[in-house]
Amino acid sequence: MPCRAADSTGIKVEGEGEWHARKHGAPKRRVWRKIHLGIDEETLEVRAVEITGSHIGDAPVLPDLLSQIPEGQEIGSVTADGAYDTRKCHDAIAERGAHAVIPPRRNAKPWKVIN
């Protein structure tokens, strides 16, 4: 049963403005993007990719990453860091029939039961 790992990293976008700022000393606000990846832990194959602005958190992107993996392909578990410890992420993982391997956030509290 394949296991998936999800995480993100920042990438700096450089262009003409960045070069101009270095040459002339003008302050330029740096532009960052986040690349979110879903990786098969056994084969290390990238199975899902999403690029967002730096203002988008990790947790809201996980359902989109999971939707990129075809429904017919079984997912055994999803491993991620505490940034993904949200009800929405756990629900998205459970909908795929997978087990979530996510440590609780530092300030975690038990969720209220929703009927």
Q: What is the pLDDT of residues 40-51, one digit of tens each?
A: 988 899 999 999
- Residue 99 CB neighbours (<10 A): 15
Residue 108 within a domain: no
- CA dist., res. 99 & res. 82, Å (int): 15
Taking residue 70's Cβ as centre, other Cβ atoms within 10 Å add up to 7
Is 77 a member of any domain? yes
Question: Within a domain: residue 107?
Answer: no
**Angstrom distances, CA of residue 25 to CA of 16, 18, 30, 58, 86:** 14, 10, 14, 34, 43
Q: Could you tell me if residue 17 is inside a domain?
A: yes
Looking at the domain assignment, is residue 111 inside a domain? no
Q: What is the pLDDT of residues 2-51, one digit of tens each?
A: 777 888 888 877 666 666 666 766 655 667 889 999 999 888 999 999 99
Residue 55 lies inside a defined structural domain of this protein = yes
Cβ atoms within 10 Å of 93's Cβ, excluding its own = 24
Q: What is the pTM of this model?
A: 0.77
Domain that includes residue 63, residue range: 3-101
- How many structural domains is the chain composed of? 1
Report helix, strand or coil for 23.
helix
In-domain check, residue 109:
no
**Is position 112 within any domain?**
no
